Amino acid sequence: MRLALLLLVAFAAAVGCRPPEVNPQDFIGTWRTVDANDGGVVLELRADGTFVRRSQYGGVTIEEGGSYKVATNLITFTAEIESVQNREPLTSKAVFKTPYRLEGQILVLDPGTPRERKFMMLEDPRTRIRKPSPESQSSR
């Protein structure tokens, strides 16, 4: 009897210690930084495992793209091309691994700059629902 109880407790502890299951489909969509000063940063995560990141600095648009992979507590971005407004695109390869967490509807990438740490989903292509932007929520 004690052995059965001990095995049951050990099994319950092992199951309870597992990290939550990650569904990469939950990340697909268009995300925008919560602090959207100077145009903010838009991050589009696509179903085929590719991403496009657009940002503006001083009126200049910067766009980069590549692939991404979601793991239990880590997103790996592999940037393959970068273009700056009105210039020839650059081909490069940079790998950026970042821990993440979800705080309700906010995707938090750590460590991150204050400008590019928290993202809110703007559009979910699975439901075709466009979520309200941070500006429209703050103006209420």
pLDDT tens-digit profile of 113-135? 667 788 888 866 555 544 544 44
Report pLDDT for 46: 92
Say which residue, 5 or 99, is predicted with more confidence: 99
In order, the DSSP letters of 31-62 are EEESS-GGG-EEEEE-TTSEEEEEEEETTEEE
Segment 27-52, tens digit of pLDDT: 888 888 887 666 678 889 999 999 99
pLDDT value, residue 134: 44
The domain spans of the chain are 23-138
Residue 22 pLDDT: 61
Pairwise CA distance, residues 120 & 137, whole Å: 12
Structure confidence by residue, pLDDT tens digits, 57-116: 777 788 888 999 998 888 999 988 777 766 776 677 788 888 988 888 888 888 766 677
What CATH number matches the domain at 23-138, 1.10.3470, 3.40.50, 2.40.128, 1.10.405? 2.40.128
Higher-pLDDT residue of 91 and 12 is 91
3-state helix, strand, coil in the chain (%, to 5): 20, 50, 30
pLDDT for the residue numbered 114: 66
The verdict on pTM exceeding 0.85 is: no
